[in-house]
Structure 1
């Protein structure tokens, strides 16, 4: 009988200890603040350039009050906060969600604009990390994506207050992409891959005819045709260069083409020669 009482007392103490231990190990749950307070704290953080703090406040509001009075404005401000924090992928995703969830919102043009701008800034950041790569290995796909998103924005909201900035960025993007193509062309010239260089020059002429890079693109095609002994084609493009750019830096005083200074000793790309120039 005494053994049973002792065992019962031991089990009671063990149970109480287990409950107390479990309670002490549980994380402290912060009490919910009023919805407006989360929103105001997020706004204040943005005003003080504390983007990371603002992100937390807006996300807390979104989690605690998913159908609240301030959630739409908070989700819109979250896009900007993530952008300011240089979280461009997150800002793009938040803009995409806003577009999907609020297709009739009055600020929809802002969401479309920020979506494109996030891609643009993200591409700039990514590009800066790979400056030491040769031009052919640099990825310009994000710049093309940004251009397409700005174009989509302008098609939907041609009179938006953000339209002038979008147009200016699109012009800049076209120039960047065209210049990127020419950088690759010069890289191929160094590798004695004239067919590949020719393709890059033609790409600029055909798809980016209004950019300042067209003059150089014509020179690239002339040089490539000369390297390939296709002199008739070279003369055709030379005539175009003379007609459109009579004061071109690629023409001498007698309007003759000034050849590029190509390296005399350069190891051609093996795959290029094996495939007869069909593979860059």
Structure 2
């Protein structure tokens, strides 16, 4: 059934969309507020070993909400116990799987501050990268998904930095290989994100901004598919700005390095 009938004008459609988003947000926030609860009477009597064991069982069952409760109870009751260090790291992973990225990052950062010499620091960095890697978008993006390269690149850049730090400090880590693969993907999508911004500027007639963004992409994302598009945008923006010489120089670069990409249309 088509809810949005043709008779509804643009302003009405926009208002309906805003109301729908607000309703969805309120439901999500209400749901999030129910995730954390006080320590149960049963958990308050349990030993550290039992809480840790129960948390592991819940994790194996993918019952992350219950696992979080056990880890939180363990941390509250036995903050200096033998299970505290491992439990805190596993708690961060549980938050990540339970779709609480902000809390997951806070927990990871706390782990790094409290246990700076931890032998599992490589995993902490890897997990931090995973959390940032998976949270490139906002709540709205979860409801109305977009292409990964269309999202704000801030989190993607943070994920790239996390993985880069892991590889630099722990090159022999078992997580290094996967981190490298994710960095390669992130490098490509970050370049594509920059190109998307440049295209946006071109469509809006902001040719100088488009030129600068394309130039930035070429300098900082060498070796990615985004470079050829950035060069093409640079040609188009240069022509629009009346910089024919610069446009010709850029075309020569395209002909030399990408001879099969010399034919393209400007936005």
Indicate the TM-score class for this superposition, using the shorter chain for normalisation.
0.7 to 0.9
- What's the counterpart of residue 141 of structure 2? 128
Instruction: Report matched runs for 1:202-241 at 5 Å.
Output: 202-241=215-254
Q: Distance in 1 between matches of 2:139 and 2:254?
A: 35
Once the two structures are TM-superposed, the CA of residue 236 in structure 1 deviates from its matched residue by 0.5
- What's the counterpart of residue 274 of structure 1? none
Once the two structures are TM-superposed, the CA of residue 259 in structure 1 deviates from its matched residue by 3.0
SS in 1 for 2:136: helix
Q: Distance in 1 between matches of 2:172 and 2:162?
A: 16
Instruction: Report matched runs for 1:92-241 at 5 Å.
Output: 92-124=105-137, 128-129=141-142, 139-241=152-254
Once the two structures are TM-superposed, the CA of residue 128 in structure 1 deviates from its matched residue by 2.6
- What's the counterpart of residue 82 of structure 1? 95
Output one character per residue of 1:133-191: Cα deviation in whole Å (capped at 9) or x when no partner: 9xxx9532121122122212211111111111111111111111111111111111111
Once the two structures are TM-superposed, the CA of residue 32 in structure 1 deviates from its matched residue by 1.5
Q: Distance in 2 between matches of 1:207 and 1:237?
A: 17
Residues 122 and 173 of structure 2 are in contact (CA less than 8 Å); yes or no, is this contact kept in structure 1? Answer: yes
Q: Stretches of 4+ moved more than 4 A in 1?
A: 28-31, 124-127, 129-133
Q: Distance in 1 between matches of 2:246 and 2:72?
A: 61
Q: Which has the larger radius of gyration?
A: 1
Once the two structures are TM-superposed, the CA of residue 246 in structure 1 deviates from its matched residue by 1.1
Q: Distance in 1 between matches of 2:174 and 2:151?
A: 33
Q: Distance in 2 between matches of 1:76 and 1:85?
A: 14
Q: Distance in 2 between matches of 1:90 and 1:132?
A: 22
Aligned length: 226
Q: Give the alignment's TM-score, normalised by structure 2.
A: 0.78
SS in 1 for 2:178: helix
The 1:140/1:237 distance shift into structure 2, 3 A limit, reads same
Q: Give the alignment's TM-score, normalised by structure 1.
A: 0.75
CA RMSD of aligned residues (A): 2.4
Q: Are residues 1:259 and 2:265 paired? A: yes
Once the two structures are TM-superposed, the CA of residue 127 in structure 1 deviates from its matched residue by 7.9
Q: Distance in 1 between matches of 2:51 and 2:75?
A: 9
Output one character per residue of 1:190-249: Cα deviation in whole Å (capped at 9) or x when no partner: 11111111011101101111111101111000111111121111111101001111111x
SS in 2 for 1:67: coil
Residues 178 and 211 of structure 1 are in contact (CA less than 8 Å); yes or no, is this contact kept in structure 2? Answer: yes
Q: Distance in 2 between matches of 1:72 and 1:165?
A: 24
